[in-house]
């Protein structure tokens, strides 16, 4: 209950919060995530303040992100179920250039735009199982994987990862990473190597589809968040994507 010292505006806000059903709050949050609706527009449509909608959004993201499993558990579960390989890929999440930040901090030379790099892992059916910490896009996919010691963790679980040609040089010491052949400068690949590339590309297609499902959430169209909040957002959207696909 508001006290006598509570301003009239705050009292009204408390009343609205009590009257709005939980399901309606979930609809508001999903609208913000799926369609990147302006929070002020959502607030006006439901007669609450923008601050309240922003708080609901942050709380929901925190709850969902907390459900994201750790990499070791994901790999152990795949191994227990008899799996032998996973699919690994990276993708750029576009961001706005934040005022005061150096141009090169989030600039991706590969994509020619600002963004954050996220590594994702799927099973052979294309189910999104794990996403990495969001990192500056100026780093490479190989660097991001090495920072997470993905090769060591794959070996510990007895699994191998199928990756794209962007990961050439990622692991040259063993069979933990399955990768195709990059065409040497001024030369052609042999028919056998071309066939290997085609087979790997066919297997990796489901991983690319998983990223496409994740990016259906339009809030990822151009992020306006810092790295920590972006990481939690991507993991929260991964959980929502898993539920969406499983329906």
> 134 and 234 in contact (C-beta within 8 Å)?
yes
Name the CA radius of gyration of the chain, rounded.
22
Cα–Cα distance measured from residue 24 to residue 60, given in angstroms and rounded to the nearest whole number: 13
Could you tell me the pTM of the whole model?
Answer: 0.83
The winner for highest mean pLDDT among 14-18, 130-134, 170-174, 225-229 is: 130-134
pLDDT of 12: 43
Average of per-residue pLDDT across 22-40: 92
Q: Percentage of the chain with pLDDT > 70?
A: 85
Cα–Cα distance measured from residue 238 to residue 64, given in angstroms and rounded to the nearest whole number: 9
Question: pLDDT tier at 14 (50, 70, 90 boundaries)?
Answer: very low
Each residue of 59-102: pLDDT tens digit? 999 999 999 999 999 999 999 999 999 999 999 988 876 544 55
């Amino acid at each position: 209950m508001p006290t006598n010292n509570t301003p009239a505006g705050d009292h009204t806000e408390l009343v609205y919060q009590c009257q709005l059903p939980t399901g309606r709050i979930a609809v508001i949050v999903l609208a913000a995530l799926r369609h990147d609706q302006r929070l002020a527009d959502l607030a006006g449509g439901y007669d609450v303040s923008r601050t309240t909608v922003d708080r609901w959004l942050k709380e929901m993201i925190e709850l969902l992100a907390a459900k994201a499993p750790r990499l070791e558990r994901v790999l152990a579960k795949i191994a227990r179920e008899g799996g032998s390989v996973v699919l690994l890929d990276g993708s750029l999440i576009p961001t706005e250039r934040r005022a005061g930040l150096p141009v090169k901090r989030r600039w991706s030379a590969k994509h020619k735009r600002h963004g954050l790099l996220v590594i994702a892992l799927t099973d052979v059916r294309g189910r999104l199982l794990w996403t990495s910490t969001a990192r500056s896009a100026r780093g490479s996919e190989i660097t991001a994987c090495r920072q997470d010691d993905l090769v060591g963790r794959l070996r510990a679980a007895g699994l191998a990862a199928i990756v794209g040609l962007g990961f050439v040089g990622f692991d040259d010491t063993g069979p933990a990473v399955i990768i195709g052949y990059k065409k040497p400068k001024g030369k052609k690949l042999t028919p056998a190597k071309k066939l290997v590339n085609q087979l790997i590309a066919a297997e990796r297609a489901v991983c690319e589809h998983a990223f496409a499902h994740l990016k259906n959430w339009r809030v990822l169209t151009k992020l306006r968040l810092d790295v920590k909040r972006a990481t939690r957002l991507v993991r929260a959207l991964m959980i929502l994507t898993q539920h969406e696909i499983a329906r």
